[in-house]
Amino acid sequence: MSMWADKQSRNILLMLIFVTIMGAAIAFQPSHRKTRKSLVVQNSEVAKKSALWDDVEGGIHIPTGLIADDHLDLVVNNCTGCHSAALIRQNRLTADGWISIIRWMQDKQNLWNLGSNEEEIVSYLAKNYAPTEQGRRKNLTIAKNEWYELEN
């Protein structure tokens, strides 16, 4: 029986060592949240002087395809680290709709509290990715002489 107790004690000790090492390894890795928060640029004037604006052509931020406008930096730094900018570009929402999406990401996807940046991010999104009145696609434009009769 004492041999079993020694074996059990050794296994418990090995498990505690393993858990301690893994816990330390996880604790010392940079947290995704902390890393992303440190990248947030607080002022769009600072951002316009940053390298981010070097990648703008024709009013579009080339790496992301997002519209270049005030607070683009906040959107790039807070959104595109976790998901593609295509998710932003394909959606058209009101300010309330964008806030609803942000709350869902905070509740279900562990998005951090955006703090004072939230208003500026929502402002950018609601201005540049607002709902449009057009349907599925733009209407076709066909010149008068391009119509033809179908023959049976």
pLDDT tens per residue across span 92-113: 999 999 999 999 999 999 999 9
pLDDT tens per residue across span 15-61: 767 666 766 555 555 444 444 433 444 444 544 556 788 899 999 99
Q: Does 42 share its domain with 113?
A: yes
Residue 133 lies in a domain: no
B/e letters for 34-60, b = 16+ CB within 10 Å, e = fewer, are eebbeeebeebeebeeeebeeebeeee
Both tokens of residue 29?
């890795």
Domain that holds residue 45: 32-128
Please give the tally of structural domains in the chain: 2
pTM above 0.75, yes or no: no
Q: Does 8 share its domain with 65?
A: no
Q: Picking from 5-9, 117-121, 138-142, which range would have the lowest pLDDT averaged per residue?
A: 138-142
Q: Does 76 share its domain with 87?
A: yes
Q: Does 7 share its domain with 60?
A: no
| Of residues 33, 124, 127, 143, the one with CA closest to residue 75 | 124
Q: Does 84 share its domain with 94?
A: yes
Q: Does 8 share its domain with 77?
A: no
